[in-house]
Structure 1
Amino acid sequence: MMAGTAEMLKNMLPYGGAVNIHGEITWCVTEDEFNELKRHLESIFDEAH
């Protein structure tokens, strides 16, 4: 059964991820993974200038 709106809002993925067609989380990005990727991308753009 698909999760209700309140349940979906409670389980939002603030740093990214994916859910299946039933609204169940299949994978998620942690805050640490997000920050690491952000630093990496910023360093690429810093090198370009």
Structure 2
Amino acid sequence: MIVIQAKLIFLNQQDKQIVLDLMRRWSSCMRFAYKRLLEGYDRKTLK
């Protein structure tokens, strides 16, 4: 596994909000999928 860390610098607040919203949605999707896997759902079903 490759891990990359970076500091994001935004030129304006709107760009920052767009990226934060995208990161929040991604985190929510990953959490939802993980919980469904723990409940016994098939990986293909989650895709």
Higher strand content, 1 or 2: 1
TM-score bracket for this pair, using the shorter chain length = 0.3 to 0.5
Larger RCO, structure (CA 8 Å, separation 6 or more): 1
Q: Could you tell me the TM-score, scaled by structure 1's length? A: 0.42
Q: Could you tell me the TM-score, scaled by structure 2's length? A: 0.44
Higher helix content, 1 or 2: 2
